[in-house]
Amino acid sequence: MELAARLHADAHAADERRVLVLAGPAERTRTRATQALETASIDPAATRYVGRAESLPYEQIDPRRSDRLLGTTQQAVVLDCHDACRPNALGAAVGAVDGGGLLVVLTPSLDEWPDRRDSFDETLAVPPFETEQVIGYFRRRLVRTLRTHRGIAIVEVGVDGEAVVRDGIVDAPPRPPREDPTMPSDRAFPTAAYDAALTQDQLDAVAELEVLTDGGQAVVVEADRGRGKSSAVGLAAASLALDGADVLVTAPNYRNVAEVFARAEELLSSLDALAALDDETHPQRIETARGTVRFARATDAAGLPGDPDCVIVDEAAALPVRLLEAFLDADRVAFATTVHGYEGAGRGFSVRFRERLESSEYDLTDVSLSEPIRYAPGDPIEVWGFRALCLGARPAVDPVVEDATPETATYRRISASDLLADEHLLREAFGLLVVAHYRTEPDDLARMLDAPNVTVRALLSDGHVVSVALLAREGGLPADLRASMYEGQRVRGNMIPDVLSSQLRDEAAGIPIGYRVLRIATHPAVRSRGLGTRLLAEIRSEFADGGPECDYLGVGYGATPELIDFWADSGFRAVHLSTTRNDRSGEHSLIMLDPLSDAGEELCQRHTDWFLRRFPGVLTDALSGVDPDVVRATLRAIATEPDVDCTKMEWRVVVGAAGGASIVDAAPGPMRQLAVRHLVAPVDPTALTDREERLLVMKVLQAREWDETAEALAFRATGPCKRTIGDVAGRLVDCYGTAFAREERERL
């Protein structure tokens, strides 16, 4: 295929990438892809095939495992979209193609493609919806971008031959060779670390990271994909280890930092300084004669295991703020993050975490890399990828929304057709989700446009999105599915009914229809004004007053005291706190419900009662180490009034503890009842201080040791801590005691 050779030559001359779309029957496009790459003289060993067919002569990657492309560089990638068009796979494939290379996309006829359904669509059609109900707007928009962006060739491959619809030739003038980076005159890292830098941007980043040789330093490295951020971090990590530092490198997963370790190993090997390597293919621990570079997943690294000298957090934007804050206990720390890209959303990191970092005691250094390494600046395929996947989506600029208030904003139901027709609306709504959430992926864009169970609601100010919510319909399941779920089968897209049925043994939980709030986000310029609360109130009003059939609103999220209070203030009630931490958020996930009908009220009441009965028992076991403020907020959010049912003997123990004649440990049951009663629905919210409530949680509900409790709550010793428990017991008797208990208290 002559066009492929011309495209390759055009890309090579400009040090850019090009896309070749082969549209037609599956086997014919696969055959033509192989012929095209042969004609372009592209090495099969430097080509990857992302698809499920067995006939192509390239290393194969399953589309569901496309993240294996991240951090790799290929002369060509063949992305087969016949079986499935996965946005995440498209993003990974675009990012893996080197300058001068080709991305070959195999599709059905472009006119027919949006209306066809594939295996990715099946993942969007969660029960009780069918695959035929998936809309297809993501592909319709994708086709539109393929037909209009520079550098994209389209060839229709038919039974009777082929037709070139677009040749994709840009004829950009040849790029001058890159100038050699200028070495800093005063440097602490080895010269070889700077020699390994490919651009001035990357070299400058390595130089800025030298501050990590001193304590009390923090560095933030931000870059778009393909700028060499991870390589710069790897060179710095190796240099610090050479200087004797123990460097802990962390990220959501090891694949995020594979490039960091590869560059560190290369530098140390070139300096003949590599003392030990735990794995030659995927090293997670590299030792020099003096220092170490080692890996731990972020949820494990948050405790700073081994007391490292320096912590490097890569892909920081993919981590929740609460987890990032744990790394601020390190002596020296660097946060590296992708500003726009498949791995995470850097602006969310800067908006949500930046204030906390700037208020810390670190001396802060900012580093930004803008020059691409693998291809020339202005590469048209990078521009297309950002547009097609909304990787560069941003909220409205601050000045146009900064006057928005709950009273002035307008509520709007936004359909998928609205988003397809209005690119400005789509980018503002999706951009808010990117900013607000620690990981928003290209797949989420398709879910927003195509999933039949997903709907969007927003508040607008002068036509600009200031708050947005993504809702997913759940429940309303037939009896056979409910039975399967009860017996342990996972049912996609029905998270709340799934948990209530399988874990909490309520087979009827799948009968009511609920809408779960998948995401909710408010513009950073107008946060803390009540816009999110107003949006939830409007959604509740719409659904309760004749909107979509709905028995309850629900939400599940990584629990923090602030978030729990927000949802509770909006009318949601806690029904379950997971016993394990979520890998993504690093928190225990809390499920809350807001009933809108009799069926929803019955479900919610059933599970608040059940939660209240079982939660105290779990607190002494699987949840014994949970933050006491999370426990306090969760108990407040149960929103029911528990009974206190103590015998006379039990009241005597509590009253005796208040008077110093007995100890709480002798019979903790009655004190536990009083603690739960007060923390769930206090008759006098001022009866106990925050510290005293934390003491109730840690000692009475979680049964922690006296020494641990006293230290955590800043008591001088266990004695004052024990006396305070006695004082608290007395006040709880005053608030909730029976006549007999009060008489007993008077006696003592």
pLDDT, tens only, 65-104: 998 887 688 999 999 999 999 999 999 999 899 999 999 9
Q: Residues near 349 by Cβ (< 8 Å), separated by ≥ 6?
A: 316, 317, 324, 335, 337, 438
* Cα dihedral 608, 609, 610, 614 sign: positive
Spatial separation of the C-alpha atoms in residues 634 and 626, rounded to whole Å: 11
**Span of 73-77, 276-280, 353-357, 657-661 with lowest mean pLDDT:** 657-661
In this structure, are strands 552-558 and 513-522 parallel, antiparallel, or unpaired? parallel
Domains and CATH numbers, the chain: 2-166 (3.40.50.11040), 191-369 (3.40.50.300), 398-636 (3.40.630.30), 648-747 (no CATH)
pLDDT, mean of residues 472-485: 96
Residues paired with 412 in a beta bridge: 458
Radius of gyration of the chain (CA): 29
* Burial environment of residue 572 by CB neighbours within 10 A (0 to 12, 13 to 18, 19 or more): buried
499-516: per-residue pLDDT in tens?
A: 999 999 999 999 999 999
Query: One-letter amino acid identity for 446?
Result: A
Under DSSP, the state recorded for 463 is T
CA angle 267, 268, 273 (to 5 degrees): 155
Q: Sheet holding 59-61: strands in order across?
A: 59-61, 47-50, 74-80, 97-107, 18-23, 152-158, 161-166
Q: What is the mean pLDDT of the chain?
A: 92
Nearest to 455 by CA among 431, 429, 435: 429
368-402: per-residue pLDDT in tens?
A: 998 988 888 889 999 999 999 998 888 999 999 99
On the question of pLDDT at 342 being above 50, the answer is: no
Spatial separation of the C-alpha atoms in residues 577 and 566, rounded to whole Å: 16
571-625: per-residue pLDDT in tens?
A: 999 999 999 987 666 789 999 999 999 999 999 999 999 999 999 999 999 999 9
How many other CB atoms sit within 10 Å of the CB of residue 44?
Answer: 16
138-185: per-residue pLDDT in tens?
A: 999 999 999 999 999 999 998 778 999 999 999 887 777 777 888 888
Verify cis geometry, omega within 30 degrees of 0, for the bond prior to 283.
Answer: no
Question: DSSP 3-state helix, strand, coil percentages of the chain (rounded to 5)?
Answer: 45, 20, 35
* Cα dihedral 190, 191, 194, 200 sign: positive
Q: Could you tell me the pTM of the whole model?
A: 0.87
Spatial separation of the C-alpha atoms in residues 588 and 196, rounded to whole Å: 42
